[in-house]
Amino acid sequence: MSKFEPRIVGLMCHHCSYAGADRAGQSKSPLPTGFLPVRVMCTGRIRPEHIMAALQQGADGVLVLGCHPKDCHYRTGNLRARAAVGLTSRLLEGLGLHPERVQLEWVSAAEGEKLARVVNAQARKLRRLGPFRPASG
Amino acid sequence: MSKPRIAFGWLASCGGCEEAVLDLNETLLFDVAPQVEIVFWPVAIDAKLHHLEAIEPQGILACFLNGSVRTREMAEMARLLRSKARILFAFGSCAHLGGIPSLANTTTTRDLLETAYRSAPSNAGRNKHLPGGAGRVPPLTAWAHPLKDLVEVDYFLPGCPPPPALVAEAFLALLAGKLPPRGHVFGEEQALCSSCSRLPKKPEDLTIGRLRRVYEVEAPADECLLAQGLLCLGPATRGGCGERCLKANMPCRGCFGPPADVADQGAAMLTFLAAHAPVDSGEQAVLQFTESLVDPVGTCYRFGLSPAVAGCYRESSKTGRTRARRG
Amino acid sequence: MARKKKPWLFLCRCGPNIAEAIDLDRVASAIGSTMEVASVETHDILCSPDGQQWLQRRLRRGGLHPVVVAGCSPREHLETFRGVCREAGRNPHLLAMANIREQCGWVTPDRTAATDKAIRLVRAAIRRATLLEPLEEQQVDCNPDVLIIGSGVAGLQAARLLAGAGRHVILVERSPSIGGRGPRLADLYPEMECASCVLEGLLDEVLHHPLVEVLTCAELTRLAGAHGQFSATIRRAPRGVDEAACFGCPQCIEACPVSAPSELEEGLATRRAIYLSYPGALPNVPVVDRSTCLHFRGDPCDACARACPFGAIDLDQTETFVTREVGAVLVATGAELADLASTWGPDLPGVYTTMALERMLNSSGPTAGKVLLPDGRRPASVALVHCAGAPDGTRMGACSVVCCMAMAKYAQQLAQKLPETTIHELLWERSTPGKGYLEFASASRAAAHGRLKPIRLEPTERVSVEQARISQGSGAGSRRRRTTPNLVLRFRSGGKGPARRPLRVEMVVLAPPLSPSASTDRLAHLIGVEVGQGGFVLEPGPKVAPYQSSVDGILVAGCATGPKDIRAASAEGAAAAGRALSSLVPGRKLELEPYRAAIDPEHCSGCKTCVVVCPFGAVRFDPELRVAQVEQRLCQGCGSCAARCPVGVATAPGFTDGQLLAEIAGLLG
């Protein structure tokens, strides 16, 4: 039986977390094969629909990775992402989604190691939870 | 020349939409009723099902159908009325979006019945049994549906219930033969803020520390309710209702559904709420703000939790089964 | 709508870097067979000069096909390939990159898995690229002018240098007079030159420079935009006097019937309700204090207006707002002495702060340069207490830099002016870094000729001051003693043995710590700069960019970032000016953000959510049309408005919802 490799859509900001992910790459830190990066300029760009679409189209989890508070290149985008992701995950949990599938973490451009750690931890969690296969409407 | 025939039907509904028709008052008496022949209206006239079945297909000009589809019988009724009517109006939130009955889509019908008939507190004693059996109560459909999930709908009259002015507009357009293109949702295209009289005073730096309940705030009659921390869903709700709730100093609850071209009203609500998070006060403050939205599902999908949305996130491991209590 | 063109895909082997980790042939054939691309080509090293030439030749084929480059991170070479597009005469924004190196090949050890992932990433980039639109690249002149908030030494220095280089300077000062604390001091260490003499030239030059607009009684209320193009709104409180008409004669002041304690004379003198901050304050125009003026407290008094020979008094003046466009903002709001009332108790007669002593020592101050007790006598003994910051007189842990040198200066000056007075100096530590400072401090003490008695306190010792009980007695001598403020300094040992014996003195001078000026917190909040330790403005790069706040385009100088003396503040003001001169060059163009947002006015509901959320104040609400509009010059392309618009009418070009959703679908499909 083939091992379940969770698909994680990673929404990352150009200035911090995406750079952190590049840094992890430069260090050749292995990342789960199911980690699928998406680059935005700022995590503040993220809407609930993006997270919902990812889950509806086959993602087993969504990771939003932004700059640490106070470091956002656009001042407040990351904290608004925190608000949007917080509200969205509460809504989706109310509809039956396991609360650990949608996560938000802060990763700076220098934190390649942290990025690898966070992504690998999320993959381990999702392997335990199993694939996201909702009842269809 | 015979008068055009119209029909009214109700599925899973509260009766408010029937009242809305009556609220047309003189318009109903003088402008509508004399022009038409009402062939079916369960709440008001004595036509039976077999009278309806006897009408030739497309023999009714228009049917105004309210309520969501919750039982198999309702599904049949919806199909029947669709076949008999040339024009079908989804009347009110339940028919338009699924309505409050569709909040049942957060759970399974099995759980619904178990909770309602077995595990919820009651004084029924040992007489706890599920309804059912042929000829008794029609079985529930797996999900509660808006009308368009089952049949082709021509027009939508939003609102819980639709305001009399909007209903009159639809009736009069129908009778004059001047209906808009098929698929039209009556009301405004834009969100409620667009026509709200309080908009000029809506602050441009609106931050909410925590969302407040209506009883906590004495809101001024002419200021934006969001600015008072009240959960007014105007920005994500189609306008055209005449701001009835706002005129009573109550925040909008979103009964008209999303504005034009917005697929998911709940997502629209969450995204604009995130704009008002207290980002200047740090991460903890932002988290407290998100926690202050007490019931996300009930708030975001109060007037229609479609099966499409409800089914998307329900993981099999999460469908809790209530244990049947004996005795 | 024009049918979307299929993208041209270019795969880069990146030498062995990608080729070894990923089977690019399989990627090429997998993508080719999706029929979603017009062509697939592979190159060894696309970013090399050869590679770029090769790419450019291919892009010259023309047409609006978007370009997808699968290779390294866009953070490495997106700009490079944009340049190639420009060279080839194509829009540089019809370009997307798939990062199959840093975020695929290099993090996926298994080649098969890496190739599978690369196919997903490339497919996602293609779906996204298919929806890209050509974006207009626009340049505008950057604004070379500067807004300076705070007219202390740092702000003045910067103003002088900037104006000298031909820049317009708007100098915003909260109080009615410019100069900050400097001009109120007596003599400046270590040269012991008179403060007003040293600073007079600077003040004068700035006040009268044709390129400097001085706005007093003013504060910033709004700052929109970003580096190179800020729009500042400034509120001017009503002075009550027409600055243009006033000739600086004191008739109005002399006519005023009200008397109140003078804040800037540290309570040592009184002022009228219409007053000049201190003798020599600039601009030489009085101000009406509405909290004490009778006219604003129900009385129809207009004595000042009647006394003015030039009709310059205007008690009906109201606040005004002005807007100025600048390229940079300098925060030079300074620091102020902390209020000691809560830690040292209510004002006791004979207890003064360092600033009050400066006013006494100042020859044009309230005591004409003499050091006197409230009853007019010279004190027989003075205690100078360092580090008077915390309860019980212990050090707060944050050094205010200037006080030790100031106390050394006072030791010298008091010894000179009061030849019979004993001077006790209470200190825990001495801190006198700086060129010539240690020598100055030593020399000052030596100059006191044995009348200076230093008391070195233990780290755990605490000091407090109280009024002594006046001894009963009879006769003239005892009467005099009863009117003499007699102060007692009490010591607590903090557990290390018995307490030192109390010290009885006639005058105490406390050195309060410097804390950020009252307006700093509000201002920082308003313009979005971070504050750090102690509430002072933070310099994220204090070694290499000490003039830079946490916000690009907003500079800092002087005590706004932390206590420092005049020499250092002056240097920082110059540094900030240097930075502004080098980053805002007239004629040098500023690229407008190509990702600037747009709002469809036809469908906008006017809910103002985008206005609320824009971090740069770049979205304005039009109250007539009841719709929102993006100010193109100010937009920084973050996409916040597009994210939060509930009806989806704000678009973020380059990162539209359609493009992001297509990318997500491409990753997962």
Q: What are the pLDDT digits (tens) for C484-538?
A: 558 999 998 877 788 899 999 999 999 998 999 989 999 998 898 888 878 899 9
Q: Residue B263: CB partners within 8 Å, gap ≥ 6?
A: A49
- Search chain A and give the residue with CA nearest C597: A45
| Residue B16 contacts residue B160 (beta carbons within 8 Å) | yes
Chain B residues touching C604 at Cβ < 8 A = 190, 194
Note the pLDDT of residue C470. Answer: 62
Kindly report the nearest CA distance between residue C38 and chain A, in angstroms.
24
> In this complex, which of B199, B203, B204 lies closest to C626 when CB atoms are compared?
B199
Answer yes or no: do B206 and C626 touch at CB < 8 A: no
Mean pLDDT for the stretch of residues C449-460: 86
Chain A neighbors (3+ CB pairs < 8 Å): B, C
The angle at the Cα of C407, spanning C403 to C408, to the nearest 5 degrees, equals 120
Mean pLDDT for the stretch of residues C579-584: 94
Note the pLDDT of residue C138. Answer: 86
> In this complex, which of A52, A134, A136 lies closest to B315 when CB atoms are compared?
A134
Q: Residue A65: CB partners within 8 Å, gap ≥ 6?
A: A10, A11, A12, A13, A16, A17, A20, A21, A43, A104, A105, A106, A107, A115, A118
Integer angstrom CA distances of residue B110 from A95, B83, B324, C87: 17, 31, 11, 66
End-to-end CA distance of chain C: 26
- Whether omega for the bond prior to residue A99 falls within 30 degrees of 0, making it cis, is no
Q: How many helices (H) and strands (E) does chain B have?
A: 12, 7
- The confidence band for C352, taking pLDDT boundaries of 50, 70 and 90, is very high
Question: How does DSSP classify residue C496?
Answer: S
CATH number at C179 reads 3.50.50.60
In a domain, A135, yes or no: no
Mutant choice from B204, B232, B265, B289 vs C, greatest count of C C-beta within 10 A: B204
Q: What are phi and psi of C137, to 5 degrees?
A: -95, 125
State how far Cα C539 lies from the chain centre: 9
pTM of the model: 0.80
- The confidence band for C448, taking pLDDT boundaries of 50, 70 and 90, is confident
Note the pLDDT of residue C227. Answer: 87
Number of inter-chain CB pairs under 8 A, A vs B: 113
Answer yes or no: do B267 and A49 touch at CB < 8 A: yes
Note the pLDDT of residue B316. Answer: 64
| Residue A37 contacts residue C120 (beta carbons within 8 Å) | no
- The confidence band for B267, taking pLDDT boundaries of 50, 70 and 90, is very high
Q: Specify whether C161 is located in the same domain as C208.
A: yes
Q: Specify whether C38 is located in the same domain as C179.
A: no
Which residue in C504, C406, C496, C510 sits closest to C459, CA to CA? Answer: C496
Note the pLDDT of residue C398. Answer: 77
Note the pLDDT of residue C481. Answer: 46
Does C393 have pLDDT greater than 60? Answer: no
| Residue C500 contacts residue C491 (beta carbons within 8 Å) | yes
Domain count, chain C: 5
Residue A79: domain span: 8-129
Note the pLDDT of residue B124. Answer: 77
In a domain, C661, yes or no: no
Which residue in C97, C112, C93 sits closest to C46, CA to CA? Answer: C97
CA distance A123 to A35: 8
pLDDT digits (tens, 9 = 90+) for B196-232: 999 999 999 999 999 999 999 999 999 999 999 999 9
Answer yes or no: do C645 and B272 touch at CB < 8 A: yes
Alpha helices, H only, chain A: 17-26, 48-56, 77-94, 112-129
Note the pLDDT of residue C93. Answer: 95
Answer yes or no: do C638 and A45 touch at CB < 8 A: yes
> In this complex, which of C605, C610, C613 lies closest to B190 when CB atoms are compared?
C605
Chain A residues touching C528 at Cβ < 8 A = 75
| ipTM, interface predicted TM-score of the complex | 0.97
- The confidence band for B134, taking pLDDT boundaries of 50, 70 and 90, is low
Answer yes or no: do C108 and A30 touch at CB < 8 A: yes
User: Which residue among C550, C583, C616 closes a domain?
Assistant: C583
Higher pLDDT residue, C101 or B117?
C101
Note the pLDDT of residue B320. Answer: 36
- The confidence band for C380, taking pLDDT boundaries of 50, 70 and 90, is very high
Which residue in C542, C536, C539, C540 sits closest to C523, CA to CA? Answer: C536
Percent of chain A with pLDDT strictly greater than 70: 96
Q: Specify whether C369 is located in the same domain as C486.
A: yes
Does C3 have pLDDT greater than 70? Answer: no
Point out the least confidently predicted range of B41-45, B127-131, C148-152, C323-327. B127-131
Chain B residues touching C647 at Cβ < 8 A = 190-191, 235-236, 259, 261-262, 268
Q: Specify whether C350 is located in the same domain as C491.
A: yes
Answer yes or no: do A90 and B317 touch at CB < 8 A: no
Does A31 have pLDDT greater than 70? Answer: yes
In a domain, C239, yes or no: no
In a domain, C346, yes or no: yes
User: Which residue among C559, C583, C607 closes a domain?
Assistant: C583
- Search chain B and give the residue with CA nearest C621: B204
Note the pLDDT of residue C483. Answer: 47
Q: How many helices (H) and strands (E) does chain A have?
A: 4, 4
| Residue A92 contacts residue A62 (beta carbons within 8 Å) | no
Note the pLDDT of residue C479. Answer: 46
| Residue C26 contacts residue C83 (beta carbons within 8 Å) | no
Question: How does DSSP classify residue B228?
Answer: G
- The confidence band for A58, taking pLDDT boundaries of 50, 70 and 90, is very high
Kindly report the nearest CA distance between residue C321 and chain A, in angstroms.
27
Residue C289: domain span: 251-307
Note the pLDDT of residue B89. Answer: 98
Q: Specify whether C457 is located in the same domain as C552.
A: no
**Cα-atom radius of gyration of chain C, to the nearest Å?**
34
User: Which residue among C458, C491, C512 closes a domain?
Assistant: C512
Point out the least confidently predicted range of A68-72, B246-250, C141-145, C639-643. A68-72
Per the prediction, chain B carries an average pLDDT of 91
Q: Specify whether C461 is located in the same domain as C544.
A: no
Q: Is B261 an 8 Å CB contact of chain A?
A: no
CATH number at C81 reads 3.40.50
pLDDT digits (tens, 9 = 90+) for C54-86: 999 999 987 789 999 999 999 999 999 999 999
Q: Specify whether C497 is located in the same domain as C532.
A: no
Question: How does DSSP classify residue C2?
Answer: P
Per the prediction, chain C carries an average pLDDT of 91
Q: Are strands C619-622 and C627-630 parallel, antiparallel or unpaired?
A: antiparallel
Note the pLDDT of residue C395. Answer: 52
Does C2 have pLDDT greater than 60? Answer: no
Using an 8 Å CB-CB cutoff, list residues of chain A that contact chain B: 47-49, 52, 55-56, 69, 76, 79-80, 82-84, 86-88, 90-92, 94-98, 130, 132-137
Which residue in C146, C2, C145 sits closest to C65, CA to CA? Answer: C2
> In this complex, which of A47, A79, A96 lies closest to B271 when CB atoms are compared?
A47
Kindly report the nearest CA distance between residue A43 and chain C, in angstroms.
9
Q: Specify whether C367 is located in the same domain as C284.
A: no
| Residue C267 contacts residue C261 (beta carbons within 8 Å) | yes
In a domain, A123, yes or no: yes
Mean pLDDT for the stretch of residues C596-613: 95
Note the pLDDT of residue A43. Answer: 96
Give the side-chain half-sphere CA count within 13 A for C52: 15
Does A137 have pLDDT greater than 60? Answer: no
Number of inter-chain CB pairs under 8 A, B vs C: 77
Does C245 have pLDDT greater than 70? Answer: yes
Q: Specify whether C348 is located in the same domain as C480.
A: yes
Note the pLDDT of residue C555. Answer: 98
Answer yes or no: do A83 and B309 touch at CB < 8 A: no
> In this complex, which of C73, C117, C661 lies closest to A53 when CB atoms are compared?
C661
In a domain, C278, yes or no: yes
Chain C residues touching B207 at Cβ < 8 A = 612
Point out the least confidently predicted range of A12-26, B91-105, C383-397. C383-397
Domain count, chain A: 1
Q: Specify whether C539 is located in the same domain as C398.
A: no
In a domain, A137, yes or no: no
Mean pLDDT for the stretch of residues C618-640: 91
Higher pLDDT residue, A70 or C280?
C280
In a domain, A1, yes or no: no
Does A120 have pLDDT greater than 70? Answer: yes
Note the pLDDT of residue B325. Answer: 24
Q: Specify whether C368 is located in the same domain as C496.
A: yes
Q: Specify whether C486 is located in the same domain as C525.
A: no
CATH number at A18 reads 3.40.50.960
In a domain, C540, yes or no: yes
In a domain, C449, yes or no: yes
